[in-house]
Amino acid sequence: MATIGITPSRKIEDYRQSILHVGGEARVLDASAPIDQALAGVDGLLLTGGEDVAPAHYGETPHPTVVAAEAGRDEFEIAVVKAARQKGLPIFAICRGVQVLNVACGGTLVQDIPSSIHGALNHSLTVPPHEPYSLAHEIWIDKDSLLSKLMRERLSDADECEVNSRHHQAVKDVAPGFKVSATAPDGVIEAIEDPAARFCLGVQWHPENFFRTGEFRPLFEGFVEAALKSDRK
Ligand code: MN
């Protein structure tokens, strides 16, 4: 069975359930342990949602809307991404996770979508009556991507789908070697991946909120399957 290491987050249950529902073992990583120890016995890395990455990590000063994450979280997650990539572990990154992944690999972020992108859609559907799984906007998927390959069965020959959305930041400059695999109609980057890696995918929406109904189950299936083949070191 593949053991998936999940980065600690205040809301962990849907991530855990999403892994369990596709036959993976879920383990919340110990952020206080040295990185090698934290990743010991882990076959795949799942990066979770949360507050913003400090802009200092990509050489910028913070916009007033930036909300700091838990103390030490940026440093732990950036280090864990680098170690996981060095080990060749599959990585699946969600919301803040895709932002951490991009920054850890040398990319930058849009610090605040509403004040930076004219005519942007509402990407922050956070207040009632919106449920975590309420659909917010469409995404357009690049056909030549891992994301498209994974979603093909569900999308048949379409290249768009509806996603939920709870973010005010997004990927700006894509990290070297990565490519954009989906965008929203306003141009906001909704998914990136590293085509050179076996499985290194980040999405800006929250697929884990759909574990009961399975809309994004193929993403977790593909991730856990890749982790099963992982050469644990
Ligand atoms: Mn969005």
User: In this predicted model, what pLDDT tens digit does every residue of 156-214 receive, in sequence order?
Assistant: 767 999 999 999 999 999 999 999 999 999 999 999 999 999 999 999 999 999 999 99
Question: Does residue 101 register a pLDDT over 70?
Answer: yes
36 C-alpha vs ligand 1 centroid, how far in Å? Answer: 33
Q: Tokens at residue 133, please?
A: 């799984």
* Catalytic residue chosen out of the listed positions 95, 105, 123, 215: 95
204 C-alpha vs ligand 1 centroid, how far in Å? Answer: 6
167 C-alpha vs ligand 1 centroid, how far in Å? Answer: 6
More confident site: 157 or 67: 67
Task: Output the pLDDT for position 232.
Answer: 57
**Residue 100 in 3-state DSSP?**
helix
Sheet with 25-28: list strands edge to edge: 25-28, 3-6, 44-47, 91-94, 200-203, 189-193, 179-183, 137-141, 160-163
Ion ligand 1, residue ranges at CB < 5 A = 123, 165
Query: First CA to last CA across the chain, in angstroms?
Result: 15
Please, are residues 197 and 85 in contact by the beta-carbon 8 Å criterion? Answer: yes
Range 3-231 has CATH code 3.40.920.10: no
Examine the residue annotation and report whether 130 is marked as an active-site residue of this protein: no
225 C-alpha vs ligand 1 centroid, how far in Å? Answer: 27
The span from the CA of 7 to the CA of 12, in Å, is 9
* Catalytic residue chosen out of the listed positions 123, 167, 168, 206: 206
Please, are residues 43 and 230 in contact by the beta-carbon 8 Å criterion? Answer: yes
User: In this predicted model, what pLDDT tens digit does every residue of 69-87 receive, in sequence order?
Assistant: 999 999 999 999 999 999 9
Boundaries of every domain in the chain: 3-231
Task: Output the pLDDT for position 233.
Answer: 45
Question: Does residue 48 register a pLDDT over 60?
Answer: yes
Neighbouring C-beta atoms of residue 77, cutoff 10 Å: 28
At residue 231 the predicted structure's pLDDT band, cuts being 50, 70 and 90, is low
Is 187 exposed, middle or buried (CB count within 10 Å of its CB: 0-12, 13-18, 19+)?
A: exposed
At residue 12 the predicted structure's pLDDT band, cuts being 50, 70 and 90, is very high
* Catalytic residue chosen out of the listed positions 77, 190, 193, 208: 208
Over range 30-48, report the average pLDDT.
97
